[in-house]
Amino acid sequence: MRTLLSAFVVGLIFGVGLLVSGMANPQKVLGFLDLAGAWDPSLALVMVGAIGAAFIAFRVAAGRRESLLGEPMRLPARADIDGRLLFGALGFGVGWGMAGFCPGPAVVALGAGEAKALVFVASMVAGMGVFELIERKRRA
């Protein structure tokens, strides 16, 4: 129960952070990605603020086997670079640049009642479903 409550509260803080920062607004995101137009550097500062605030916590977490709520510490262990990672990351940037939405802001905009965000999130979940189907077929 405590882990569910903390997940909810963390999701809430994360969502408010996206709203405060301007990242939940695709127009603002595209203003950052449009280097050749009138460039809005704001989102670089979102990254600076976020990494600055999380950096120490991840150092602390790396030295622990259990979380403060007694959950196993699940830090990704992989360090290898493979084609899937590169293909996925390159593709993600294309999709991000098309509409100015990445997953987090789209979910928050959905909560704000934006019909277009609902369409984006539904398509995104469908895309994730396509991935699951391909992966299951590949493993079968």
Partner 1 sequence: MTVDWAAFTPWSALAGGVLIGLAAALFILLNGRVAGISGIVGGLLAPQRGDVGWRLAFIAGMVGAPLVWLATTSLPEIRIEAGYPMLILAGLVVGISTRYGAGCTSGHGVCGISRLSPRSLLATVAFMATGFATVFVIRHVIGG
User: Cβ 1 to partner 1, closest distance in Å?
Assistant: 9
Contact between 56 and partner 1 by CB under 8 A: the answer reads: yes
Nearest Cα neighbor of 74 from 56, 89, 58, 86 is 58
Q: Of residues 63, 98, 139, 140, which one binds partner 1 by CB under 8 A?
A: 98
Q: Of residues 96, 137, 139, 140, which one binds partner 1 by CB under 8 A?
A: 96
Contact between 76 and partner 1 by CB under 8 A: the answer reads: yes
Taking the C-alpha atoms of residue 65 and residue 71, their distance in angstroms, rounded to an integer, is 9
Q: Write out the H or E segment, with its range, that includes residue 45.
A: helix 42-62
Contact between 79 and partner 1 by CB under 8 A: the answer reads: yes
Taking the C-alpha atoms of residue 25 and residue 68, their distance in angstroms, rounded to an integer, is 34
Distance from chain centroid for Cα 140:
30
Q: Of residues 58, 63, 137, 140, which one binds partner 1 by CB under 8 A?
A: 58
Taking the C-alpha atoms of residue 120 and residue 96, their distance in angstroms, rounded to an integer, is 11
Contact between 47 and partner 1 by CB under 8 A: the answer reads: yes
User: Cβ 9 to partner 1, closest distance in Å?
Assistant: 6
Contact between 78 and partner 1 by CB under 8 A: the answer reads: yes
User: Cβ 83 to partner 1, closest distance in Å?
Assistant: 9
Binding mask 4-33 for partner 1 (x = CB under 8 A): xxxxxxxxxxxxxxxxxxxxxxxxx-xx-x
Residue 96's contacts (CB-CB under 8 Å, 6 or more residues apart) are: 29, 33, 102
Task: Classify residue 69 by its DSSP letter.
Answer: T
